[in-house]
Amino acid sequence: MKIALLGGYAPSLINFRGSLVRAMLEQGHEVVAMAPPFSPSPGPQLEAMGARYREIPLNRRGLNPLSDLGSLLTLKRMFREIAPDAVLSYTIKPVVYGSLAAKLAGVPAIYSMITGLGYAFTEDAGMKRRLIFNLVRGLYAAGLRPNQAVFFQNSDDLAFFKKLGVVPEGMRTEVTDGTGVDLDHYAYSEPPQGPPVFLCLSRFLRSKGVEHFLEASERLKKRFPEAIFRLAGSPEQGRDALGEDEIREWKRRTGAEVLDPVEDVRPLLSGCTVYVLPSYREGVPRSVLEAMSTGRAVITTDAPGCRLTVEDGVNGCLIPPRDTDALEQAMLRMIEAPETVREMGRRSREIAERRFDVHRVNELILETMGAA
């Protein structure tokens, strides 16, 4: 088969879908990976793996109808040129416009992967949010209609889409329990000795709970000055984003280490004792799976996607979303019980091995696509 893999963020083709690309290539399929322009381009890495890479004119942010219509028509032309046997898209705009373009281009098989519902589906009573919600719901409904099957990362998102009427009646759906994690690449290691190190890897978005992490860090730093709090990630744009001035102010107040994004997160994971992600909602957070595979205790929220990763009190703590007090108390318990934290890390690795092996996830995707 010739498979077109379409994503909204070029680095994710390597970071999140690299194992899937390799699995497709190992089965003898031709893979054409597609994403909007990004510097540095992932093209050389994909081509070294044996895949082809094509840039697409798609703005992953914003809702400009003329621009998006242009992207749809260009994708239709590209699909006719590439002539894939199947298209697999992930993230909202590729799912919507990739699926519609594939249908118009006569692609025989179309599949989509819902990797999380994002800003439009987080709780907010404002008029603008309701308008965005209704628009995105309509776009998803139109985009999913031509699909042969749709993959969801958690059952909460699947139930939510069915409740909204977004998934057509009778369409095949599969729940993958996330993207999976490469257990060999993210090898187990014992947490470091010494002061506790709390790590959060996240884009600087409010809906990721970054402010809650920083506020809890500020409180605990006053009581435990030896404790270390690290936030690593990238600035974003839009209403949900924390501006650079806000981040600088948080850094000044909290004494937290705010680090630039890194290509390889393994040194940061091996250098922490507890991984924290107080997100409001996820597909299944890949960073948490990586932390679990590395053998780290996890604090995350009892929210869709996040709650799949933690057995409360076994490999970490589940807290309510948007609750800084609960986050502070969970982090405090970790500071006061270092041996428990180490045991939780061992249990994290066991759970990752049992439930989140990337090879199991890839097998399910390929079997559903008739590509196994």
Cis peptide before 40 (omega within 30 of 0): yes
Higher per-residue confidence, 347 vs 120: 347
Asked if 296 contacts 272 with a C-beta cutoff of 8 angstroms, the reply is: yes
Hey, what are 113's tokens?
A: 């992967």
Which superfamily, per CATH, for 2-180+357-368? Glycogen Phosphorylase B; (3.40.50.2000)
Assign 21 a pLDDT band (cuts: 50, 70, 90).
very high
Measured distance between the N- and C-terminal CA atoms of the chain, rounded to whole angstroms: 11
What residue type is 332 in one-letter code?
Answer: L
What tens digit of pLDDT does each residue of 38-72 get? 999 999 999 999 999 999 999 877 677 888 899 99
In angstroms, rounded to a whole number, what is the distance separating the alpha carbons of residues 117 and 124? 14
Length of the chain: 372
Backbone phi, psi, residue 211, to 5° = -60, -40
Spans of all domains in the chain: 2-180+357-368, 197-355
Give yes or no for residue 105 having a pLDDT over 70: yes
What tens digit of pLDDT does each residue of 235-274 get? 787 778 888 888 888 888 888 899 988 889 999 999 999 9
Equal fold, 2-180+357-368 vs 197-355: yes
Domain spanning 197-355 has what CATH number? 3.40.50.2000
